[in-house]
């Protein structure tokens, strides 16, 4: 992915009440950060981009706490600027790396993980960087609660086939799966389109999705 560097992004994120720049310091402190009720579910989107999907979810479900994690400040900037205006109490953004999520969250503290249009990393030697890889599924197993779920969608059929093949070696099983989300009335109910989803479905690409639960 080509990335335009936006010099002010780091400063805007560092100054925002709603963004976390040093997520290691937040481990075990998320309930305190969100406030009452302390037992509200926490849903995490990994690779949130400009945060459009998680902003919509946060508006629709004020009873759920949401965290959007994004590696690059210049990408995350737009979402943080919008949240600086909306000030949704149940939403925080993290500028951080998914490889370190077990440093950011206590075991069992996340109730749902969303992976939306994750980078495909097409070279075989980079397979372990793919967010639905077995290496990442093991990290998700650590931070997810006993009833925790993972929802993954993409228009990239090769990445989706890889993701499906990674499941049997993990702590999870497939509860629901579709190769054409927008034509599936059950799985598409309440679907919120991400930025990439809108772009690629407008080109005629079908959207694949699975939902994983623990075995």
Using left for φ > 0, alpha for ψ between -120 and 50, and beta otherwise, residue 51 falls in left
What CA–CA distance (Å, rounded) separates 194 from 199? 9
Query: Segment contacting ligand SAM (CB under 6 A): 32-40, 58-66, 92-100, 155-163?
Result: 92-100
Q: Does 69 bind ligand SAM (CB under 6 A)?
A: yes
Catalytic residue among 21, 84, 119, 184: 119
Q: Which of 72, 106, 142, 177 binds ligand SAM (CB under 6 A)?
A: 72
CB 53 within 8 A of CB 207: no
State which H helix or E strand residue 48 sits in: none
Angle at 20 between CA 159 and CA 56, to 5 degrees: 60
Residue whose CB is nearest to ligand SAM in the complex, by number: 47
- Residues of this chain, 171-200, that bind ligand SAM according to CB under 6 A: 194-197
Please identify, using beta-carbon distances, which residue of 61 and 129 lies nearer to ligand SAM: 129
Please identify, using beta-carbon distances, which residue of 101 and 173 lies nearer to ligand SAM: 101
CA atoms within 13 A on the CB side of 67: 27
What CA–CA distance (Å, rounded) separates 134 from 128? 7
Total interface residues for ligand SAM by CB under 6 A: 20
**Least Å from the CB of residue 70 to ligand SAM:** 5
Catalytic status, residue 184 = no
Which residues of the shown chain bind ligand SAM in the complex (CB under 6 A)? Answer: 46-49, 69-72, 75, 97-99, 116-119, 194-197
């Amino acid at each position: 992915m080509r990335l335009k560097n936006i010099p002010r992004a780091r400063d805007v994120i560092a100054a925002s009440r709603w963004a976390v720049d040093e997520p290691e310091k937040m481990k075990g402190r998320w309930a305190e950060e969100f406030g009452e009720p302390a037992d509200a579910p926490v849903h995490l989107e990994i690779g949130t981009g400009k945060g459009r999907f998680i902003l919509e979810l946060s508006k629709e479900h004020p009873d759920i706490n949401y965290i959007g994690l994004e590696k690059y400040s210049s990408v995350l900037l737009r979402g943080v600027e919008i949240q600086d205006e909306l000030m949704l109490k149940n939403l925080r953004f993290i500028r951080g790396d998914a490889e370190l999520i077990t440093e950011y969250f206590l075991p069992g503290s996340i109730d749902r993980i969303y992976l939306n249009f994750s980078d495909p990393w097409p070279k075989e030697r980079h397979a372990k960087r793919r967010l639905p890889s077995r290496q990442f599924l093991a990290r998700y197993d650590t931070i997810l609660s006993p009833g925790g779920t993972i929802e993954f969608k993409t228009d990239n059929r090769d990445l989706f086939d890889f993701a499906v093949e990674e499941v049997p070696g993990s702590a999870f099983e497939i509860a629901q799966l579709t190769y054409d989300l927008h034509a599936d009335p059950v799985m598409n109910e309440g679907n919120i389109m991400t930025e990439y989803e809108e772009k690629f479905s407008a080109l005629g690409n079908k959207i694949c999705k699975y939902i994983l639960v623990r075995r």
